[in-house]
């Protein structure tokens, strides 16, 4: 417990930062020795500036804050995992400036699994959300732990996909464990607390300030064997995460989208740069040399056409619809059925997941 207190207390020193933390810990061979060093000794550390050690002048106060933080964490139901802990992810330990302390809530054994990051657009299209969910579910069935950032859009669907098959998932937060952000994902947050794992490098009550999310992204990339980018604009946080992964020598995968979609410009750029193309979960599993126990060959956009509607008119309408959208009027002409009958069939096809309705009364096939 004393060792954990040293790590946590030093991390609470204002102005130090993660890079400064590691310079001092490496130089003095441990946070306890850093906390007992004089200001003059601290300033002799290569790369350390005076502003970084100003918060180390009141060591007793830092220890008091560390004790209070650990007590609050215990009452909350969380744990602190320090860099030398057996549960600290080995891959994360290898990156530049890894988090000295991870605050976790939930099933910490997920940290020891085969982790794969999945990221993408917050304002994801229905295609992006569907692909994230189905890919995540298939990978989780293969005992892959899905790691993401609990953001809106692709992140949330990645978590939900894993949870839908009772798989393991880790949400890396850019705030304290007790802060639900974004609030729209409160139900998913609650499910991950119960069935998965919440992880952050920030103490309790830390707000979700914007500058924390790039740092959060390095943890997603750092603890994962690879990163799957489902849907992303050319300039986005998802590409920052992919760059972190590349910098650490991890695999980067990208799911193609529509060629004229702004939301897929980033994934298409990654593919041009040599990212591995993902059409099915098996593309990822094969690259990671894992085996999926379930049936092979499910497409990334939700499966094959093995399942077909049994009703003849419904099959007739479905065969008139392609992945390129068409209008309801076109569909009525193509099928030769009445407008009322087509509307009735479309309702059932949508409920069964064969088609999706788009703005402007357009319809496209998704399975």
Res. 150 pLDDT band, cuts 50 70 90 = very high
In 3D, which of 276, 299, 270, 304 has the Cα closest to residue 288?
Answer: 276
Total structural domains in the chain? 3
CB atoms near residue 351 (< 10 Å): 9
As a whole number, mean pLDDT of residues 257-273 equals 91
Q: Does 61 reside within a domain?
A: yes
DSSP code string of 239-250: HHHHHHHHHTT-
Res. 316 pLDDT band, cuts 50 70 90 = confident
Judgement on whether residues 26 and 126 belong to the same structural domain of the protein: no
Tokens 């990208």 correspond to what residue? 254
pLDDT in tens, 61-118: 999 999 999 999 999 999 999 998 999 999 999 999 999 999 999 999 999 999 999 9
pLDDT in tens, 25-64: 999 999 999 999 999 999 999 999 999 999 998 999 999 9
Which domain-ending residue is among 287, 321, 347? 287
Judge whether 70 and 82 are in contact, CB under 8 Å.
no
Judgement on whether residues 198 and 338 belong to the same structural domain of the protein: no
Judgement on whether residues 135 and 198 belong to the same structural domain of the protein: yes
Which residues sit opposite 340 in a β-bridge? none
Q: Does 344 reside within a domain?
A: yes
Judgement on whether residues 21 and 156 belong to the same structural domain of the protein: no
If one compares 309 and 351, the residue with the highest pLDDT of the two is 351
pLDDT value of position 294? 41
Print the domain residue range for 9: 2-76
pLDDT value of position 20? 96
Judgement on whether residues 246 and 338 belong to the same structural domain of the protein: no
Q: What percent of the chain has pLDDT over 90?
A: 74
Judgement on whether residues 115 and 202 belong to the same structural domain of the protein: yes
DSSP code of 291? Answer: -
Q: Does 302 reside within a domain?
A: no
CATH number at residue 335: 1.10.10.10
Judge whether 237 and 216 are in contact, CB under 8 Å.
no
Judgement on whether residues 12 and 61 belong to the same structural domain of the protein: yes
pLDDT value of position 323? 74
Classify residue 90 as exposed, middle or buried by CB count within 10 Å of its CB (0-12, 13-18, 19+): exposed
Which residues sit opposite 145 in a β-bridge? 115
Alpha carbon distance 46, 138 (integer Å): 48
Judgement on whether residues 174 and 223 belong to the same structural domain of the protein: yes
Residue 364 pLDDT > 90:
no
pLDDT value of position 308? 62
Judgement on whether residues 197 and 69 belong to the same structural domain of the protein: no
Judgement on whether residues 272 and 325 belong to the same structural domain of the protein: no
As a whole number, mean pLDDT of residues 323-336 equals 88
Radius of gyration of the chain from its Cα atoms, rounded to whole angstroms: 24
Q: Does 307 reside within a domain?
A: no
Alpha carbon distance 110, 113 (integer Å): 5
pLDDT value of position 65? 97
Judge whether 1 and 79 are in contact, CB under 8 Å.
no
Classify residue 132 as exposed, middle or buried by CB count within 10 Å of its CB (0-12, 13-18, 19+): buried
Residue 225 pLDDT > 90:
yes
As a whole number, mean pLDDT of residues 234-238 equals 89
pLDDT value of position 114? 93
Judge whether 251 and 227 are in contact, CB under 8 Å.
yes
Judge whether 48 and 76 are in contact, CB under 8 Å.
no
pLDDT value of position 309? 64
Q: Would you state the structure tokens that stand for residue 361, as one six-digit string?
A: 């009364």
Mean of per-residue pLDDT scores for the chain: 91
Judgement on whether residues 139 and 273 belong to the same structural domain of the protein: yes
Alpha carbon distance 147, 131 (integer Å): 16
If one compares 166 and 323, the residue with the highest pLDDT of the two is 166
Which domain-ending residue is among 34, 61, 76? 76
pLDDT value of position 300? 55
Judgement on whether residues 252 and 359 belong to the same structural domain of the protein: no
Res. 269 pLDDT band, cuts 50 70 90 = very high
As a whole number, mean pLDDT of residues 314-338 equals 88
Q: Would you state the structure tokens that stand for residue 12, as one six-digit string?
A: 């609470």
Establish how many alpha carbons lie within 13 A of residue 287's alpha carbon, considering only the half-sphere containing its beta carbon.
Answer: 21
Q: Does 183 reside within a domain?
A: yes
Q: Does 90 reside within a domain?
A: no
pLDDT in tens, 168-200: 999 999 999 999 999 999 999 999 999 999 999
CATH number at residue 250: 3.40.50.450
């Amino acid at each position: 417990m004393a060792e954990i207190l040293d790590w946590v207390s030093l991390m609470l020193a204002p102005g130090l930062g993660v890079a400064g933390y590691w310079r001092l810990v490496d130089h003095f061979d441990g946070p306890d020795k850093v906390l007992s060093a004089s200001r003059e000794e601290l300033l002799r550390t290569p790369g350390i500036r005076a502003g970084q050690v100003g918060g180390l002048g009141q060591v007793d106060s830092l220890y008091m804050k560390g004790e209070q933080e650990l007590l609050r964490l215990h009452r909350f139901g969380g744990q602190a995992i320090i860099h030398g802990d057996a549960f600290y992810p080995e891959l994360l330990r290898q990156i530049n400036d890894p988090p000295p302390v991870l605050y976790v809530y939930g099933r910490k054994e997920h940290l020891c699994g085969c982790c794969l990051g999945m990221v993408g657009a917050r304002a994801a299209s229905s295609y992006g959300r569907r692909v994230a969910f189905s890919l995540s579910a298939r990978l989780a069935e293969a005992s892959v732990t899905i790691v993401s950032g609990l953001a809106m859009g692709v992140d949330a669907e990645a978590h939900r996909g894993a949870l839908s098959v009772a798989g393991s998932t880790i949400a890396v937060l850019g705030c304290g464990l007790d802060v639900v952000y974004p609030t729209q994902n409160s139900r998913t947050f609650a499910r991950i607390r119960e069935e998965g794992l919440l992880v952050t490098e920030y103490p309790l009550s830390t707000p979700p300030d914007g500058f924390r999310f790039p740092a959060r992204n390095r943890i997603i990339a750092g603890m994962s064997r690879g990163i799957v980018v489902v849907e992303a604009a050319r300039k986005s946080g998802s590409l920052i995460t992919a760059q972190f992964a590349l910098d650490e020598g991890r695999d980067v995968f990208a799911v193609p989208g529509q060629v004229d979609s702004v939301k897929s410009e980033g994934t298409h750029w990654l593919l041009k740069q040599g990212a591995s193309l993902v059409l099915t979960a098996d593309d990822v599993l094969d690259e990671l040399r894992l085996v999926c126990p379930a049936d092979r060959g499910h497409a990334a956009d939700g499966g094959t056409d093995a399942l077909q509607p049994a009703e003849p008119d419904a099959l007739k309408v479905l065969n008139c619809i392609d992945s390129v959208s068409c209008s309801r009027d076109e569909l009525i002409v193509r099928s030769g059925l009445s407008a009322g009958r087509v509307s009735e069939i479309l309702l059932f096809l949508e409920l069964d997941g064969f088609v999706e309705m788009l703005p402007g009364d357009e319809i496209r096939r998704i399975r």
